[in-house]
Structure 1
Amino acid sequence: MTSYEPDTDPSAEPSGLLAGLRTRPSQVWGAVRLVPLVRAEPVHDLRLHPRIHDGPGVVDLGRRKGTYVSYIPHSFVAEWTGDGSPAAAYGTQLTGDRPEQEAVATVRLHFHRRMARQEAKHRLRFLPLHLALEGYLALHFGGPSLAWEEWSRQAVRQGLSPRVEAAFLGTEVPGLADALNVFEIHPGQCGVLVYLADALAAAFVVPHPEDYRTLHPTLVRDLYGDLVYHYATLMPPVPDFRARITGAGVRSLADLRAAAVRQTAQWADFHDTTMAAGLLEQGCTWEEVRRMGRFTLSRFLPTFRPKQDNHIGEAISDEQGRIVYLKTFRLSESQVRRGYLLSHLAAHDWHLADTAAALGMEKAQLCHRLESAGFGHLLRPDMRGRQ
């Protein structure tokens, strides 16, 4: 049985992506801070369970879209009912150590058809986080919309192919595996916010507490950006925010309970308005991926704000727009710059002079920034190296 804590204070709920969830006090391990998210009532008619792959994967994105290659440790299988009745996750099992006699010397390569694939009427298999990452990698993937003379032949013919981005596996992030192993799962917990050196690294939300207990270990197999990896490696341990209740005004157990509730609300307000503000306040563009009865699977991209938090992600929402599943990835500064430049180029039909003017710089400066961002191969050779 799973218990739920009563909470009638709507001010304890964050807005936007985390609407309907309540923030609970964090737990700290070194530079890692985990902030639990709970629901007053779970979502019963949508359930998630993992399907373990544990290795490199190749995804056929469909006709004219090419392939996506990455380390894909698991996929998620979503089960839902058509009439709103409770659904159950089945076949859930995490892989353990392989018996020595079954050890193999080669690496299995898994092939997947599409990022999200319908397997039955009420069952969808999708690749968590990779759905969002593919959306970022596909950003203006076709390259110049017009063959301006400044662009190379490769840019006009192939666009940004191949497009490559790097990330770290959770097992490589110092302290993360230990933190996930020792932290307690809160009663009714349906999600978590992962901070490294108090920089928001990832948000993870599922429909039901039992799903969260099953999927909690998969967080260490997820991908994390180089920014948060370096934060976890180089920064000192973060402070633990402990509630302190003074004796003033406390004359009974009821007074003590009220003081504890106030402390919890103050922490939640500080967290939602300050620590998680970068995620909750960013503007996003959404793309619908698949309808799932009364639910919709989508992914989103930020507006690419330089020198600010920028998160990409994927979500499942119900017919009222409430987020019931969420997974995010924090972009590094270099990834934000690439998205920022590509978005501005596309907004000006890839015309260098117009784009440079919109950004308040000379065309030569824009060429230098494109080369620094890793897009130098898109420019004609005589345009490169100009400052």
Structure 2
Amino acid sequence: MKFDETSQGLGLRGLQIAAAQAVGAVRLVPLLKEHVREDLRLGTHAFGDERPRAVGVRGQADRPDVAYCSYLPHAYVLRWSSDGTAVAARGAALSDKQLGLRDVGGVRVLHRMIRQEGPGALRFLPLHLAMEGFLSLHFGGPDVAWSEYSRQALSHGLSPRRESAVLGSYVHGLEDAVRMFEIHERQVGALVFVADALAAMVVFPHPDDYRALHRSLVRDFFGELVYQYAILYDDVPAHRVAVREAEIADLAGLRAAVARARADWAEFSGDMAGRVLREPLRWQTLRQVGPFRLRRFMSALRPDEDNHIGEAIVRDSGELEYCKTFRLSAAQVRRAYLLEKLAQNLWDLARTAEALGVEVPALLVRLLNAGFGYLLKEHVLKNLPTGTV
């Protein structure tokens, strides 16, 4: 799997940032839609229990039996029209057959991450599209049979590849914030900050969709760093805007002052989310439906900066219609960064070490500490200098 295009960040075309609401360490910044359209709607289908599920993943040509396993609380069902006509808002109750859901050895297995559900309807698994793309990054492992790699690495690649996350209900203060905060009339999304670190960006196509799915935020998953920040920090400072009374002489002056305050709030929040809004992202288009593209993305893997993965639906005009992001932990970034460097250097350990500016033993230690020791033959690891791990 490759992210095959690098382009601009998510941006906020068609959206407006409203004043933030904060409680404890959680700050939610509402995103309002400038012009509400009716030709794209999103519903949810709850699976009804908390059993882990597997998803049969296609597209791994060299690994035909790859499966993605996770806690899957619900699926999204997207409905659209290609000619701009309104799409009726309705529930997303689907049968097991329609979902492609079956029992295999006591495990509920879904057929594919994305599935067409008849004309004008698409079922997909929110956030798991992004995480599956991240997990499958260089999943095939070494493409040259270097002598240092184990038989498992050469035969099965990185399988199994694991990453951990935390359910939103375990992020201290998030459930209270979601329950208490006001929903604006044209609100379709939110920037979620924990201790003023961007935890997630959520956007839905229509204000009614957002109202229906607002509380589902606590069933999304969040990164380890977000969970830790929520525990370590009790609150966040208020962002106050000064209004100079001497500059206000009439209603026009008051309107101008309010407009400046709103612009200041928007700039403040936009700057905090700049890594995903403005920095270039790597993209992969998964499906084109009418004038909409369902895509997943990943920020450039820079170990000294915050990094995000996510998925989005973008209109042909560039307007953002749907989005969910996930903030990677430092350990997750280090693992992906190492894999990327290995792949760029054809999995040659000497070349990779040179590219990283280290000696080969130091690279081996990094791989071992990142959980990739199983990729290497046992005698390679035994030759590491004593005390290097």
The alignment partner of 1:190 has SS state of: strand
**Deviation string for 1:208-234 (max 9, x for gaps)?**
111111111110000000000000011
The partner residue of 2:29 within 17, 35, 54 is 35
Deviation at 1:65, TM superposition (A): 4.7
The alignment partner of 2:116 has SS state of: strand
| Structure-2 residue corresponding to 1:346 | 343
What amino acid does structure 1 have at the position aligned with 2:194? L
User: Are 1:223 and 2:230 matched, yes or no?
Assistant: no
How many pairs are equivalent?
359
What amino acid does structure 1 have at the position aligned with 2:82? G
Residue pairs, 1:241-280, within 5 angstroms = 241-272=239-270, 274-280=271-277
Go from structure 1 to structure 2 and tell me whether the alpha carbon gap of 1:240 and 1:109 turns closer, same or farther (over 3 Å shift). farther
The alignment partner of 1:258 has SS state of: helix
What amino acid does structure 2 have at the position aligned with 1:60? G
| Whole-Å separation in 1 of the counterparts to 2:274 and 2:83 | 36
What amino acid does structure 2 have at the position aligned with 1:209? P
| Whole-Å separation in 2 of the counterparts to 1:18 and 1:342 | 32
The alignment partner of 2:72 has SS state of: strand
User: Are 1:315 and 2:312 matched, yes or no?
Assistant: yes
User: Are 1:205 and 2:203 matched, yes or no?
Assistant: yes
| Structure-2 residue corresponding to 1:301 | 298
Q: Does the CA-based 8 Å contact 2:342-2:352 persist in structure 1?
A: yes
Go from structure 1 to structure 2 and tell me whether the alpha carbon gap of 1:117 and 1:15 turns closer, same or farther (over 3 Å shift). closer
| Whole-Å separation in 1 of the counterparts to 2:380 and 2:17 | 51
| Whole-Å separation in 1 of the counterparts to 2:30 and 2:259 | 16
**Deviation string for 1:283-306 (max 9, x for gaps)?**
322111111111111111222111
| Whole-Å separation in 2 of the counterparts to 1:174 and 1:347 | 40
Q: Does the CA-based 8 Å contact 2:80-2:121 persist in structure 1?
A: yes
Q: Unpaired segments of 5 or more residues in structure 1?
A: 1-13, 94-107
Q: Does the CA-based 8 Å contact 1:49-1:76 persist in structure 2?
A: yes
Go from structure 1 to structure 2 and tell me whether the alpha carbon gap of 1:265 and 1:65 turns closer, same or farther (over 3 Å shift). farther
| Whole-Å separation in 1 of the counterparts to 2:281 and 2:268 | 23
| Structure-1 residue corresponding to 2:43 | 49
User: Are 1:289 and 2:315 matched, yes or no?
Assistant: no
The alignment partner of 2:236 has SS state of: coil
Percent identity of the aligned residues? 50
What amino acid does structure 2 have at the position aligned with 1:249? E
Q: Does the CA-based 8 Å contact 1:26-1:34 persist in structure 2?
A: yes
Go from structure 1 to structure 2 and tell me whether the alpha carbon gap of 1:320 and 1:145 turns closer, same or farther (over 3 Å shift). same
The alignment partner of 1:120 has SS state of: coil
| Structure-2 residue corresponding to 1:194 | 192
Q: Does the CA-based 8 Å contact 2:13-2:318 persist in structure 1?
A: no
The alignment partner of 2:73 has SS state of: strand
What amino acid does structure 1 have at the position aligned with 2:23? W
Deviation at 1:17, TM superposition (A): 3.3
| Structure-1 residue corresponding to 2:97 | none
RMSD: 1.7
What amino acid does structure 1 have at the position aligned with 2:224? D
Q: Does the CA-based 8 Å contact 2:9-2:281 persist in structure 1?
A: no
| Whole-Å separation in 2 of the counterparts to 1:293 and 1:278 | 29
| Structure-1 residue corresponding to 2:56 | 60
| Whole-Å separation in 2 of the counterparts to 1:275 and 1:191 | 16
Q: Does the CA-based 8 Å contact 1:170-1:219 persist in structure 2?
A: yes
**Deviation string for 1:181-214 (max 9, x for gaps)?**
0000112011101111111010111111111111
Between stretches 181-190 and 16-25, larger displacement belongs to 16-25
Deviation at 1:178, TM superposition (A): 0.5
Deviation at 1:15, TM superposition (A): 7.0
The partner residue of 2:365 within 345, 365, 368 is 368
| Whole-Å separation in 2 of the counterparts to 1:379 and 1:148 | 10
TM-score of the pair, normalised by structure 1: 0.89
Go from structure 1 to structure 2 and tell me whether the alpha carbon gap of 1:79 and 1:40 turns closer, same or farther (over 3 Å shift). same
Q: Does the CA-based 8 Å contact 2:9-2:279 persist in structure 1?
A: no
What amino acid does structure 1 have at the position aligned with 2:76? F
| Whole-Å separation in 2 of the counterparts to 1:329 and 1:352 | 31
| Whole-Å separation in 2 of the counterparts to 1:57 and 1:15 | 32
TM-score of the pair, normalised by structure 2: 0.89
| Whole-Å separation in 2 of the counterparts to 1:43 and 1:343 | 40
Residue pairs, 1:327-342, within 5 angstroms = 327-342=324-339
Q: Does the CA-based 8 Å contact 1:27-1:240 persist in structure 2?
A: no
Q: Does the CA-based 8 Å contact 1:19-1:322 persist in structure 2?
A: yes
| Whole-Å separation in 2 of the counterparts to 1:65 and 1:109 | 15
The partner residue of 1:145 within 140, 143, 146 is 143
